[in-house]
Structures are given as structure tokens and as C-alpha cells.
Amino acid sequence: MSLTTEFKEFAMRGNVVDLAVGVVIGGAFGKIVSSLVEAIIMPVIGVLTSGNDFSKLAVQIGTNGKGEAVLLRYGAFVQSIADFLIIAFVIFLVIRGINRLKRPAPTAAPAVAPPPPPQEVLLTEIRDLLARK
């Protein structure tokens, strides 16, 4: 089997194609949620925290050779954590919704047990007759 044939067989497997589609859709979904966090949620949080913009929070830890401030930008880290938590929560909600759609509708259990089949009734009678002898 040639290398190209083997690669074609590998690449055309259902799982590989599904994974590729999932990665592309996941990347696009991540951008949408990041935009939601950046443009909508974080400004609201900034207003609630007296106008603080988390992405600009930093602490000066010294100066470089040119005399410029060297900053530890922890605000960008806080922003990334918020992005991650919101993306993870939204993905959880999406997966939860998909799983609910996959579940079969619950069926009501029968109130009365169905009668046994005729073979079982006959076998029970035979057993009882043999037990009497």
C-alpha cells in the first residue's frame, strides 16, 4: 500500500473528518464567546467595579535600561480567566442541551405486571404436579 493511499484512507475516516469539523466550529465558537466577553460582559463588570478595565490592570515591578516602567499586567490574565470560565460554561450549556435532545422520552412504567406467557403457566402447573407426587 502506497503512502498516499494509506494517508487518503486515514484522512477519510469518519472520526478524523468529524474531529476536523469540530475543531473549526470550536475555533469560530470560541471567537464568538470571546467577543461576547470582551464587548459585553467585561464592560458591565467594569461599570460594576467603578469603571475599572481589567485588561489594563498592572503593577510596576521596576524599570528597564531606557527608564521605562516594566509592568506586570495581571489584568490581561484576569480577562483570560473570565474568557475561559464563560466559554467553558457556555459549552457546558450547549452540550447539556444536546444531551437532552438525544435522550429518549421517559415512558410511564406499567401499573400492573403483564400476565406470564402460556408456556410459563404450563411449566408452573407441571412443576406443581411433580412436587405433589
The pLDDT of residue 90 is above 80: no
What's the first-to-final CA gap in the chain, in angstroms?
Answer: 73
- Name the least confident of 4-18, 20-34, 90-104: 4-18
Place of cell 495581571: 74
pTM confidence score: 0.47
Hey, what long-range contacts does 96-100 have (CB within 8 A, 24 or more apart)? none
Grid cell locating 105? 422520552
Hey, what long-range contacts does 23-31 have (CB within 8 A, 24 or more apart)? 29/91, 30/87
Domains and CATH numbers, the chain: 3-105 (1.10.1200.120)
Q: How confident is the model at residue 52 (pLDDT cuts 50, 70, 90)?
A: low
Going by C-alpha positions, the residue among 86, 36, 82, 76 that lies closest to residue 53 is 76
